[in-house]
Structure 1
């Protein structure tokens, strides 16, 4: 069998972007499985959620947003540390960049390697890669919960840590009055999960339990379309949980039987593909997903740092 093109390196076609207004001053930009971003209007300021991969890409998003509001960006909220989510931050001119305290630690520990890794995996997202001035450093961090008063009668925006999941430091942004949740990559709506830096057992259990307990009636996941209605929001959460549980079951079965990482990948691919194989970045993500879960089930508690060289080695071993 011929080896597949590395990760998303062959995915060079432009995606259609859709800007949705989910309520008064509540925005979400989706793009056919590319990373989602959003914004929330305060009385006299904006909170932006996620920063995209480069300042050039971020400025294109901001130009769309400026057709609806001219309020300045006071807060830029980053759900986690991955390069395609954070390296466009300089375009926002935000007074405050907010992230979980573990996210800041992860930037320090592995931010440079992740930058090189993700831009090689997804070159189309790295639009004008030379415009990135350097790593994005949060200026405000928290451990459990941070509340932003939006002013006037707009209520609060609650930034919440729900537990280890997609990374050690994922946060969600929750509008309790409007029941709108920006879930980051803890929930994907018909887009494959990337779990190469994940804690699969926590994510599939207590972390998603905590996300579901918020009771959202509209959810913006990390990728995919906006999910609307409580039943569909819960279904998206449970689809995410099912993907993780199938992985845990299949990789665990091969490990317990004394099999190999390659066998675990092939068995997991066969189990997931009928339901999830058509979803964006399924083939891209799965080798890295299975590799991390193999390590986790083998007692490696924290994810091994991905480098561009390690990416290629794992891809060659599994996707061939």
Structure 2
């Protein structure tokens, strides 16, 4: 019997947590499903990452309304992936903010990513029929942008390539808290299908240099305190490095993609095998690490057809 592709068989709902990570700063988490950040300013609310559909975004809005009645004025999208952006319409925000590179990736591969992710992980697209179309920002920036929400300042920064070429973070200086998107994960596998393995460690180092008191990561529980923050940064770096080194040795030595998968498992299963979405991510991570090891800088576009082809090759 052919093994179910990616997370097609993952149909059970996850328990939602809504955790305060600083004064009027919240992390919406769900056992390894995509997280959403909430920043409450003097005169409005900023949402960081939107969920995959308006129906799922409504769960975030419900939690927000439990702590404030201020209007949601901004939606910030840390990168272009469908599970992060397609629920943006539910918030009714005046401004949708994205890095310029991330917007370019929507143009280049947004439609393909939507179809690919929907087929890989159908549970995350509950209510997909209500998605009005691709999400487009009203504001973009290249390296940095500051948003003032009354007296509260939010610094949006592109610190380097990592999970994608267009990742950004949201840093709230008055609380010393950062929302990192999928650059940092906690007890959840890093999805590396669009990654830049060689650059990711330096981007993590740039986050570490902020010496923050708390992080709301892309997946997994909120991280409170320097010890948890540094442990998550270390584990994310270890995951990325272990994946790339094991695959690169096989790719550069003339082996096969299946041999690279076996090498990756040998390096990563003992350390990360119990992480959320670990099995889901492996095929994409191995394929992208293979390409980068052989000199392909720009990740190839994942389509539903390419997903199936790589899966078939790795399953034999």
TM-score category of the 2 structures, normalised to the smaller one: over 0.9
Q: For residues 240 and 56 of structure 2, what CA distance do their matches in structure 1 show?
A: 31
TM-score of the two chains, using structure 2 as the length reference: 0.98
**Deviations for 1:223-257, whole angstroms, at most 9, x for unmatched residues?**
00011111220110111111111112111111232
Contact 1:287/1:319 (<8 A) preserved: no
Structure-2 residue corresponding to 1:113: 112
Structure-1 residue corresponding to 2:178: 181
TM-score of the two chains, using structure 1 as the length reference: 0.97
Give 1:74-89 correspondences, 5 Å limit.
74-89=73-88
Give 1:155-234 correspondences, 5 Å limit.
155-204=152-201, 206-234=202-230
Give 1:22-41 correspondences, 5 Å limit.
22-41=21-40
Structure-2 residue corresponding to 1:10: 9
Root-mean-square deviation (CA, aligned residues, Å) is 1.0
Q: Give the secondary-structure state (helix, strand or coil) at the position aligned to 1:166.
A: coil
Q: For residues 23 and 233 of structure 1, what CA distance do their matches in structure 2 show?
A: 14
Q: For residues 282 and 90 of structure 1, what CA distance do their matches in structure 2 show?
A: 30
Q: For residues 44 and 226 of structure 1, what CA distance do their matches in structure 2 show?
A: 25
Any gaps of 5 or more consecutive residues in structure 2?
none
**Deviations for 1:43-90, whole angstroms, at most 9, x for unmatched residues?**
111111111000111112101211111111111000000000000011
Contact 2:53/2:86 (<8 A) preserved: yes
Any gaps of 5 or more consecutive residues in structure 1?
none
**Deviations for 1:141-176, whole angstroms, at most 9, x for unmatched residues?**
111111112223xx3111111100100100001112
Structure-2 residue corresponding to 1:279: 275
Q: For residues 163 and 22 of structure 2, what CA distance do their matches in structure 1 show?
A: 28
Q: For residues 21 and 249 of structure 1, what CA distance do their matches in structure 2 show?
A: 37
Structure 1: which 4+ aligned runs deviate by more than 3 Å? none
Contact 2:21/2:224 (<8 A) preserved: no
Q: For residues 115 and 145 of structure 2, what CA distance do their matches in structure 1 show?
A: 31
- Establish whether residue 66 from structure 1 lines up as the match of residue 70 from structure 2: no
